[in-house]
C-alpha cells in the first residue's frame, strides 16, 4: 500500500492562511497593535508562538504591494552574548554588505543598492547596533519602504537572550524616537516569562511595548476544526489512490479533549493517527490508532519535554504533590481538579508553585484546576501501568466508547 497523505505538520510552523487554524483574536490583536508599538508574544513550548508570528507578518506584508509593512525576521540563540551580536542577526536578514565596493544591498523592498561608507565601516568593526540604528532612520526607510509602510523587526526564540534583546529594543527604539521615526516596531516571540525577564533587566523597556499577547491553547472548536479538516483531507487523498478510509467521529472528540487545544499536540496526535493507520491498515482511523499515537508522543516525540518537567519536580521535591493532585482529578479528560480540595490537600504555596511552573492552569471561570499539558498526566498513567504490568486507565479510557461516563 502506498503511504497515506499526511497533512499534519508537527515539526513545522503553520504560517500560511490554509494551514493556520483559529487564533483570529490573537491575529487581530497582533496586526492592530504593531502600528502603535512593539509587541511580545509569550506562551509555553509548542503553543503556536512562531506560527502566530509568521502568520502575522504574512498578513502585515500583504500580497503584492497591498500590505502595510515590510518585515525582517531573525531567530535568537543562546550564543548571542552582546547587543551587537543580536543586532547582527537582524542586519544580516535585512541587508547584504559589500565591503570592497562599499555598497549595501537591501534584501527586502525593491532590491535597492546604495553607497554608505559609514555603514560599511561599522560593519567591518562589528558595530551592528550602530548599523541598525542608522537603517531605521527616515533616509533609509524611504528607500526600503516607500512613504508610509512600517518596518517590523521580528525576533523569534526571544527567550534565548531576553536581557540582550531588552537592551537592543531600548537602544534602537530610543534612537528612532529621537529621529522622529514612528514606523518601526519590534515583535518578539518566546517562551514565558521572557518578557518579564526583559523588564527585570530594564524596567523602562516596557514602555516601548504596546501589547503582550499570552498564547493559550486553541479553543476546542478551532482544535476540532483543525483535526476534522485535516483528517478529511487524508480520506479524500486516499480515495484518489482507491484506498477507503473512514474517520470514526469519536476519535476527533477524543483527540480534541486529550490535546486540550494545544496545537503541537494536536498536530502530533493527528500525524501519528495517520502513520499508525498506514502501518496497520484496517480502513478506519479510530481509537486503536489513537492509543499507538499516545505512547509515541509520551515516550518518544515529546519525551524530552516530560523528562524535563519530571526532573524539575524532582529537584524541587514536588513529585509526590503532583501525584496527590492527580488522585484528586475527576476521571477522564481534560483534567478537572477540584479547587477547594486541592488547596486543602496541598496548600496555597504549593498550588502557586505548580501554576508558576506552568503545570497547573486555572479554568476560565476559576472553578477548578486543569493542566497546561494533559500529556504529563497521560505519561504518568502509562508509566504506572507499565510498571504494574497492567492496562492503564488511559488505555481503557481511550478504548472505551466516548458516550461512556469515563470520558465525559
Ligand X SMILES: Nc1ncnc2c1ncn2[C@@H]1O[C@H](COP(=O)(O)OP(=O)(O)O)[C@@H](O)[C@H]1O
**Between 60 and 99, how does the x/- string for binding to ligand X read (CB under 6 A)?**
----------------------------------------
| Among the listed residues 29, 35, 45, 201, the single contact to ligand X using CB under 6 A | 45
| Among the listed residues 4, 6, 20, 153, the single contact to ligand X using CB under 6 A | 20
Residue ranges of E strands in 307-384 = 337-338, 360-362, 368-371
Q: Which does 284 bind (CB under 5 to 8 A by kind): ligand X, Mg ion, none?
A: none
Q: Which of 217, 386, 226 is nearest to 294 (CA)?
A: 386
> Which three cell numbers, joined as nine digits, stand for 187?
515583535
DSSP state of 82: S
Q: How far apart are CA 165 and CA 41, in angstroms?
A: 14
Q: Which of residues 21-40 bind ligand X (CB under 6 A)?
A: 21-23
Q: Which of residues 254-313 bind ligand X (CB under 6 A)?
A: 263-264, 267
Q: Which does 119 bind (CB under 5 to 8 A by kind): Mg ion, ligand X, none?
A: none
Give the nearest distance from C-beta 32 to Mg ion in angstroms.
Answer: 22
Specify the residue, 263 or 332, whose C-beta has the smaller distance to ligand X.
263
CA 244 to chain centre: 34
Q: Which stretch binds ligand X (CB under 6 A): 49-57, 165-173, 292-300, 326-334?
A: 49-57
Q: How far apart are CA 199 and CA 215, in angstroms?
A: 19
**Per CB under 6 A, 185 contacts ligand X:** no
**Between 207 and 226, how does the x/- string for binding to ligand X read (CB under 6 A)?**
-------------------x
**Per CB under 6 A, 49 contacts ligand X:** yes
For cell 472553578, the residue is 367
**Per CB under 6 A, 59 contacts ligand X:** no
DSSP state of 260: T
Write the CA distances from 100 to 92, 106, 335, integer angstroms: 17, 17, 63
Instruction: Determine the Cα angle at 20 with ends 14 and 25, to 5°.
Output: 120
Partners of 342 in beta bridges = none
Q: Are 271 and 305 in contact (CB under 8 A)?
A: no
The residue ranges that bind ligand X (CB under 6 A) are 9-10, 12-14, 20-23, 43, 45-51, 226, 263-264, 267
Amino acid at each position: 500500500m502506498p503511504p497515506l497523505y499526511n497533512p499534519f505538520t508537527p515539526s513545522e510552523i503553520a504560517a500560511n492562511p490554509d494551514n493556520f487554524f483559529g487564533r483570529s483574536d490573537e491575529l487581530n490583536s497582533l496586526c492592530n497593535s504593531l502600528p502603535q508599538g512593539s509587541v511580545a508574544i509569550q506562551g509555553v513550548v509548542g503553543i503556536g508562538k512562531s506560527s502566530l508570528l509568521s502568520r502575522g507578518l504574512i498578513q502585515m506584508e500583504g500580497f503584492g504591494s497591498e500590505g502595510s509593512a515590510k518585515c525582517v525576521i531573525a531567530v535568537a540563540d543562546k550564543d548571542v552574548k552582546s547587543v551587537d551580536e543580536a543586532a547582527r542577526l537582524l542586519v544580516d536578514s535585512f541587508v547584504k554588505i559589500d565591503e570592497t565596493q562599499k555598497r549595501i544591498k537591501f534584501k527586502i523592498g525593491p532590491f535597492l543598492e546604495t553607497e554608505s561608507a559609514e555603514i560599511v565601516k561599522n560593519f567591518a568593526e562589528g558595530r551592528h547596533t550602530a548599523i541598525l540604528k542608522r537603517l531605521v532612520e527616515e533616509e533609509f526607510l524611504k528607500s526600503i519602504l516607500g512613504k508610509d509602510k512600517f518596518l517590523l523587526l521580528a525576533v523569534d526564540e526571544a527567550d534565548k537572550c531576553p536581557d540582550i534583546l531588552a537592551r537592543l529594543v531600548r537602544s534602537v527604539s530610543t534612537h528612532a524616537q529621537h529621529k522622529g521615526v514612528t514606523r518601526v516596531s519590534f515583535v518578539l516571540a518566546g517562551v514565558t516569562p521572557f518578557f518579564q525577564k526583559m523588564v527585570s533587566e530594564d524596567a523602562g523597556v516596557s514602555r516601548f511595548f504596546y501589547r503582550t499577547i499570552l498564547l493559550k491553547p486553541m479553543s476546542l472548536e478551532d482544535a476540532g476544526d483543525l483535526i476534522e479538516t485535516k483528517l478529511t483531507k487524508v480520506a479524500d487523498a486516499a480515495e484518489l489512490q482507491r484506498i477507503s478510509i473512514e474517520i470514526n467521529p469519536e476519535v476527533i472528540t477524543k483527540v480534541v479533549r486529550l490535546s486540550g487545544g494545544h496545537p503541537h499536540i494536536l498536530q502530533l496526535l493527528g500525524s501519528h493517527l495517520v502513520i499508525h493507520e498506514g502501518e496497520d491498515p484496517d480502513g478506519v482511523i479510530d481509537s486503536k490508532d489513537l492509543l499507538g499515537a499516545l505512547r509515541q508522543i509520551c515516550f518518544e516525540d515529546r519525551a524530552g519535554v516530560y523528562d524535563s518537567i519530571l526532573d524539575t519536580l524532582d529537584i524541587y521535591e514536588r513529585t509526590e504533590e503532583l501525584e496527590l493532585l492527580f488522585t484528586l482529578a475527576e476521571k477522564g479528560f481534560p483534567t478537572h481538579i477540584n479547587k477547594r480540595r486541592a488547596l486543602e490537600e496541598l496548600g496555597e504555596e504549593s498550588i502557586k508553585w505548580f501554576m508558576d511552573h506552568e503545570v497547573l492552569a486555572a479554568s476560565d471561570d476559576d472553578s477548578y484546576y486543569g493542566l497546561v499539558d494533559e500529556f504529563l498526566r497521560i505519561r504518568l498513567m502509562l508509566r504506572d501501568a507499565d510498571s504494574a504490568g497492567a492496562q492503564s486507565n488511559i488505555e481503557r479510557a481511550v478504548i472505551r466508547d466516548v458516550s461512556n461516563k469515563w470520558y465525559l
